[in-house]
Amino acid sequence: MADKIDVMFTEEQITEKIKELGAQISKDYAGKEVTLICILKGASVFTCELAKRITIPVKFEFMQVSSYGDETESSGVVKILQDLDEPIRGKNVIVCEDVIDSGRTMHYLLKVLEQREPATLKLCSLLDKPDRRVVDVDIDYTGFSIPDEFIVGYGLDYAQKYRNLPYIGIVTLDK
């Protein structure tokens, strides 16, 4: 049997929200260039769609960090699996994440990136789960605030499944 998935946000709702985020970033950085750091793998779909809606020059960088593995709960241990290819010193950097949950991973990652001396460092997350927060993290650009549910789709996965769904849904695991 398959896991049950109930739609939380449709593809159309997500697209509209990303347009809003792109417009705000374009306004905030008018006349400047930004470097988007896509946090792999989950934020890849979101980052690509966001970049298409930003009207100023954009560069891409990628990082892969993990604190989940194949589990539904964060282990609390953050590992950098893939680091940036280029230095970010003096650049306007926006970290793009799929979901901010406990805050542990992003808190750690932002401290690492701050040490690399970007001109600006902002955080953009498609989803925010404030009820799960155990470490404070300031999110500069937020798509949707959501309850404490395990979600998949639009880049988000469970054990590498469901990233390809064009919507975000709540998954009930078949056990």
Q: Is 174 a catalytic residue?
A: no
* Long-range contacts, stretch 57-64, CB < 8 angstroms, 24+ apart: 57/32, 57/33, 58/33, 58/34, 59/33, 59/34, 59/35, 59/91, 60/35, 60/36, 61/35, 61/36, 61/37, 61/85, 61/86, 61/88, 62/37, 62/38, 63/37, 63/38, 63/39, 63/109, 64/39, 64/40
Which one of the listed residues 28, 98, 101, 138 is annotated catalytic?
Answer: 101
Write the burial class of residue 4 (CB in 10 Å: 0-12 exposed, 13-18 middle, 19+ buried). Answer: exposed
Beta strands 4-9; 168-172: pairing state? antiparallel
Active site (catalytic) residues: 101
